[in-house]
Structure 1
Amino acid sequence: MTHGSVHIVAGYDGSDEAAGAVRWAARHARAIHLPLHVVHCSMWPLLTRHLGPVPGVSGSGLEQFAQSVLEEGVSHAAEEVTGLEIRSTLLHGLPAQQLAEFSAGDRMLVVGSRGLGGFLGLLVGSVSLELAATAACPVAVIREDTHPAGPVVAAVDSSGSPAALEDACGLASAWHAPLTVVHVRHEPVGYLRQDGQDVAADARQVLESALAHARTLAPDVAVDGRLPADVSVPHAILEAAREARIVVVGSQGRGVLRETLGSTAHAVLHHAHGPVLVSRHGA
């Protein structure tokens, strides 16, 4: 982090998805009493040196255009939450790299699910996906907020996913929302249960431990748990999160990794219908 005190950072590129993300970030910043920092990253300096205004044309030029996009992002936040402390910064370069560096150590980085230049059919844009794999703070990828009164859903693996659980408890407390903790008992295709072995016992222990931890972290929150069994861990998480206001997942997984993002988080990001928080901490 290179910009002073801790913020909620929202990336804005002028797209509808980014506008929704900025508005979501403004509401969350108000809920946790932090300032919002709206950031726009211009790639024009990578493409041309001619950034200045056209002679005789007021308000023209690529740098001025980038500044106007940033100001538009700020206006979305200000209209959503009156009186919120909002700061803004115009960056230059590759958006994922610049946003990851800029937000390091902040409370949260908030981005839209798919921005300008996104390919049709892809539910998560390349910049959002790269940030979910590389940022040094929690990354919220915002889609349509279809269940604003729903629970926060925290997905925990066999480790208990303490960072994700802590982030989920913080969200639930800030929003006065119920919390649902989900641990999936993975049963691969062709799985055979061994006679006399209670294969669900370890899974139940993981869930009970996570529930106890959550109730300690967020004593003011209604906490419940789910222990689905499924051949696909992401599928079970998504089914449990159908009416969630947000689903929180850890950044690492036990399956095939894409960069530093676990395969479960990768799949949830692509297929969730609502906001997803990838619980990243540190570089």
Structure 2
Amino acid sequence: MPSPDRVVVGYDGSVEAALAVRWAARHAALMDCELHVVHCSLWPLLTNDLGPVKGISGSGLQHQAQAILDEGQAEALSVAPRVRIRSSLLYGLPAVHLRRIADNARMLVLGSRGIGGFMGLLVGSVSLELAATASCPVAVIRFDQNPEGRIVVGIDSSGSAGALRIACAMASATGADLMIIHVIRPHDGMANAGGGGQKSASRLLQMAAHDARALAPDVTVNQHLAQDASVPRALLNAARGAALIVVGSKGRGLLRGTIGSTAHAVLHHTTGPVLISRPMEPGRTAGNVTT
């Protein structure tokens, strides 16, 4: 089984993918992880003629695919020249290959080329699919405007242990402050039980902060109890100016293999990087989320 000390990133030659590669390279270096850059070419699904054009040096679809991969490596090294790096050129559907390669990795990093229009698809289909199905945490990088900002992690009534662990690991690696936020909605029973709901929510936050300080004793930990009719809105408001927002996903979307509604909304409306942490399958190791 591959080592969990890897950050896997997909690169397709787009501006969005270049941003994701640079983000992944910086964080792989900070976490002392290997960076694995992957380019998946779709050309073999369309044609068997991948070779060079006779008499034209450097031509052909296979050469073009390799050039894109080389470009991805160069993007990574431009921001993290000492990062341990390897690369893979694969043929076929990106989601299939990236899900397999990222198995048991520290995280999978993706750019996103949303197409807008119908249902406001601001996040690409590959990113959404892998956020819902990959076995490791998935970072989706659409913007990276505040790399020196704090890290925000949203927790639900379960405490969101997986999201909290990966947020602590990221904060410890980057030196960022950590804000833990829990949202209660005005019409929830938890918020209206004669004040008892807020007390329970406060205790939940205090327990999470205690766990965070044990996981990352070098990190400044803050906590915030928000009350809002919309959980995603409260999370996004708290994440303004943040370097990263971390949310858990129980995969309770309308369709099988989709992320939950909160994670989905955060992905579509965020102005910064988002890291989706899904519950680990029984029997899997926790190597990808420990500090």
TM-score by length of 2: 0.89
Q: Compute the displacement of 1:78 (Å).
A: 1.1
Aligned to 2:288: none
Q: Compute the displacement of 1:144 (Å).
A: 2.0
SS at match of 1:261: coil
Q: Provide closer, same or farther for how the CA distance between residues 224 and 56 of structure 1 changes in structure 2, counting only shifts above 3 A.
A: same
Alpha-carbon separation, structure 2, partners of 1:181 and 1:56: 61
Alpha-carbon separation, structure 2, partners of 1:270 and 1:234: 10
Alpha-carbon separation, structure 1, partners of 2:130 and 2:251: 16
1:218 and 2:216 are equivalent in the alignment: yes
SS at match of 2:197: coil
Unaligned runs of 5+ in 1: none
Q: Provide closer, same or farther for how the CA distance between residues 50 and 108 of structure 1 changes in structure 2, counting only shifts above 3 A.
A: same
* AA aligned opposite 2:115: F
The worse-fitting range, judged by mean Cα deviation, of 184-193 and 144-153 is: 184-193
1:271 and 2:269 are equivalent in the alignment: yes
Offset from partner CA, 1:81-103 (integer Å, 9 cap, x none): 11222100011111111111111
Contact 1:253 1:265 in 2 (8 A): no
1:71 and 2:70 are equivalent in the alignment: yes
Q: Compute the displacement of 1:257 (Å).
A: 6.2
Alpha-carbon separation, structure 1, partners of 2:24 and 2:229: 35
Q: Compute the displacement of 1:14 (Å).
A: 0.4
Contact 2:209 2:223 in 1 (8 A): yes
Contact 1:43 1:94 in 2 (8 A): yes
Alpha-carbon separation, structure 1, partners of 2:255 and 2:229: 18
* AA aligned opposite 1:278: I
Once the two structures are superposed, the pairs formed by residues 1-283 of structure 1 within 5 Å of their partners are 6-114=5-113, 118-120=114-116, 122-188=121-187, 193=192, 196=194, 198-252=196-250, 259-280=257-278, 282=280
Alpha-carbon separation, structure 1, partners of 2:199 and 2:251: 21
Alpha-carbon separation, structure 1, partners of 2:192 and 2:43: 58
Alpha-carbon separation, structure 1, partners of 2:228 and 2:254: 18
Offset from partner CA, 1:216-264 (integer Å, 9 cap, x none): 1111111010111111111110011011100001121667566241111
The runs of 4+ residues in structure 1 deviating greater than 4 Å are 188-192, 253-258
Alpha-carbon separation, structure 2, partners of 1:250 and 1:5: 20
Unaligned runs of 5+ in 2: 282-291
* AA aligned opposite 1:74: Q
Q: Compute the displacement of 1:39 (Å).
A: 0.4
Alpha-carbon separation, structure 2, partners of 1:253 and 1:128: 14
Q: Provide closer, same or farther for how the CA distance between residues 256 and 232 of structure 1 changes in structure 2, counting only shifts above 3 A.
A: farther
- The total of aligned residue pairs comes to 278
Alpha-carbon separation, structure 1, partners of 2:3 and 2:67: 24
Q: Compute the displacement of 1:120 (Å).
A: 3.7
* AA aligned opposite 2:263: A
Root mean square deviation, CA, Å: 2.2
Contact 1:257 1:263 in 2 (8 A): no
Offset from partner CA, 1:160-211 (integer Å, 9 cap, x none): 00000000000000011100000001234999946x4533122112111111
Q: Provide closer, same or farther for how the CA distance between residues 71 and 191 of structure 1 changes in structure 2, counting only shifts above 3 A.
A: same
Offset from partner CA, 1:36-87 (integer Å, 9 cap, x none): 1110011111111111112222111111111111010001011111122210
Contact 2:186 2:192 in 1 (8 A): no
Offset from partner CA, 1:129-153 (integer Å, 9 cap, x none): 1110111111111122111221100
Q: Compute the displacement of 1:280 (Å).
A: 3.2
Contact 1:164 1:249 in 2 (8 A): yes
TM-score by length of 1: 0.92
**Same amino acid, percent of matched pairs:** 56
Q: Provide closer, same or farther for how the CA distance between residues 255 and 72 of structure 1 changes in structure 2, counting only shifts above 3 A.
A: closer
SS at match of 2:38: strand
Contact 1:151 1:244 in 2 (8 A): yes
